Amino acid sequence: MEKLWGGRFKKNINKEMEKFVSSLSFDKKLVKYDLLGSIAHAQMLGKCKIITKEEKNKIVEGLKQILKEVQESKVKIITREAEDIHSWAENKLKEKIGTVAGKLHIARSRNDQIALDERMYLKEEVLKIQDLLKDLQKSLLSSAQKHLGIIMPGYTHLQHAQPLLFSHHLMAYFYMFERDKERMQDSYKRIDVLPLGSAALAGTSFPIDREYVAKQLDFSEISENSLDAASDRDFILEFLSASAILMMHLSRLSEEIILWSSQEFDFIELDDSFCTGSSIMPQKKNPDAAELIRGKTGRIYGNLINLLTMMKALPLAYNHDMQEDKESLFDTVSTLETSLFLMSKMIETMQVNKEKMEKSTKGDFSTATELADYLVKKGLSFREAHKLVGKIVVHCLEKKKYLEDLTISELKSFHKKFSEKALEILKPQFAVEAKDSYGGTSSKRVRESIQKAKKILKQ
């Protein structure tokens, strides 16, 4: 195959070497953006009279035909046919329109071209990911709304801590994913910068119009420094970082889903369509989707570390090392998109076991803080009250009783300020409703939070 750079060479490339440098097997994913970028570039060359109108028309027409053939799957990108997607597109153009195809690459280098393709690709994917995040938030929100009123144990250290509304727990994830959406939105700003026109590293001596290209390709800004633009992969790193945090959130939710669907918890039942069975144990129904999302978090972190390490200490400007950015990026995008989709469907279709959740809040001492707060409201210091309630818990453990089994005379034997009211506050329902501070778990606050979340989704 003919090389774009063949002129300077006397010998052919070594076969192993040829395979080693090739990126076409993975950068073919960028074909649409490469062609669209080339169309805009050719139009600009025509407009600035760097090529003639006829040349421009021929080139643009040829590129549009190739794009159509690609989109209709009439042409296949065969890996051994070119070194990378840029060479492939130029070769195809030459087959179609002849040597005038060679004018397309005026005032351009593959270095600014690849940066352009990646930015165009990522702009689309970030928007898709934001939509998928929104769908997941919608699932959480409608589940929170549907199950409003169900009480579950809240945990710290995975030990029962204080009772919560299940909806409050779901809404915690809503707000995590809201921050993830914001991080994606923020990274978008720095992706949305046109690098084309930087050429190899120093800019070009041709009278190009970068603003025009930016407008054609819908970029909000153009890069300020040609050397920076050809070397910069921050925009990918930032996306991979935001993705790693997002995936961490998904892994926490996955872990809870796995725990909740175990026999021990039995808080939820996942829909059959998101589980698989065992080849040996006929009774098994495993939460595979959640397990795999949890497991794939490893590769999402790995992709970030891969790119950070690859970029470390690279001198300016382009180095061939940078070709290694693509597989990490593509892998993160596709893993994230599938994980978000599956998580949203899992939440949407799961059954919630109200009885089991509420049963678990009984007899777990999780209203002990309520009892301490009660004494504080009667004038004790919090430390005094804490100590006293600790003693009551020990008493219960020795007598094999729960807090809610205590009689008023037993309570009074610990402190004279206990009254009948103290027995009431030991109910989980009371403990939940008492947490009425802003952002707390009382039904009033959770309803407020659901309303606010609806507004957020409308924005």
Using CB under 6 A, which residues numbered 329 to 368 contact ligand ARG?
A: none
Residue 29, Ramachandran bin (φ over 0: left; ψ between -120 and 50: alpha; else beta): alpha
What is the C-alpha separation between 243 and 333, in angstroms, rounded? 8
275, 287 Cβ separation under 8 angstroms? yes
Of 345, 290, 300, 297, give the one whose Cα is nearest residue 136: 345
Could you say which of 114, 126, 317, 432 contacts ligand ARG (CB under 6 A)?
114
Structure tokens at 171: 């809404």
Interface with ligand ARG, residue 318, by CB under 6 A:
yes
The smaller minimum CB distance to ligand ARG, of residues 84 and 180, is found at 84
176, 249 Cβ separation under 8 angstroms? yes
Interface with ligand ARG, residue 8, by CB under 6 A:
no
What is the C-alpha separation between 61 and 368, in angstroms, rounded? 76
Q: What SS3 class is residue 161?
A: strand
DSSP tag of 274: G
Piece of the chain touching ligand ARG by CB under 6 A; list 289-297, 298-306, 316-324, 448-456? 316-324
Closest CB 35 distance from ligand ARG, rounded Å: 15
Structure tokens at 15: 């076969």
The smaller minimum CB distance to ligand ARG, of residues 125 and 325, is found at 325
Interface with ligand ARG, residue 458, by CB under 6 A:
no
The smaller minimum CB distance to ligand ARG, of residues 130 and 323, is found at 323
Strands 193-194 and 351-352: unpaired
The smaller minimum CB distance to ligand ARG, of residues 39 and 85, is found at 85
Query: Is residue 278 annotated as part of the catalytic site, yes or no?
Result: yes
Catalytic residue among 25, 220, 262, 278: 278
What is the C-alpha separation between 393 and 112, in angstroms, rounded? 69
Q: Residue 313: is the preceding peptide bond cis (ω within 30°)?
A: no
Interface with ligand ARG, residue 117, by CB under 6 A:
no
DSSP string, 166-200: HHHHHHHHHHHHHHHHHHHHHHHHHHSEE-TT-TT
Site string for ligand ARG, 63-92 (x = CB under 6 A): ---------------------x--------
The smaller minimum CB distance to ligand ARG, of residues 27 and 55, is found at 27
The CA–CA distances, whole Å, from 278 to 219, 274, 293, 294 equal: 51, 14, 19, 20
Q: Report residue 264: phi and psi, to 5°.
A: -60, -45
Strands (DSSP E) along 129-280, which ranges?
151-156, 159-165, 193-194, 221-222, 268-269
Interface with ligand ARG, residue 323, by CB under 6 A:
yes
Catalytic residue among 157, 205, 320, 409: 157
Could you say which of 27, 34, 55, 180 contacts ligand ARG (CB under 6 A)?
27
Piece of the chain touching ligand ARG by CB under 6 A; list 137-145, 320-328, 336-344, 374-382? 320-328
Interface with ligand ARG, residue 29, by CB under 6 A:
no
Q: What SS3 class is residue 221?
A: strand
Q: Tokens 């959406």 identify what position?
A: 181
Interface with ligand ARG, residue 110, by CB under 6 A:
yes
Interface with ligand ARG, residue 290, by CB under 6 A:
no
Total of chain residues touching ligand ARG, rule CB under 6 A:
10
The smaller minimum CB distance to ligand ARG, of residues 22 and 441, is found at 22
Closest CB 191 distance from ligand ARG, rounded Å: 17
Could you say which of 10, 11, 15, 320 contacts ligand ARG (CB under 6 A)?
320
Query: Is residue 157 annotated as part of the catalytic site, yes or no?
Result: yes
Interface with ligand ARG, residue 111, by CB under 6 A:
yes
Interface with ligand ARG, residue 23, by CB under 6 A:
yes
Structure tokens at 247: 């995936």
Site string for ligand ARG, 206-245 (x = CB under 6 A): ----------------------------------------
Closest CB 319 distance from ligand ARG, rounded Å: 9
Strands 351-352 and 268-269: antiparallel
Structure tokens at 325: 């950015």
Which residues are catalytic, by number?
157, 278
Residue numbers of the site for ligand ARG (CB under 6 A)? 23, 27, 84, 110-111, 114, 318, 320, 322-323
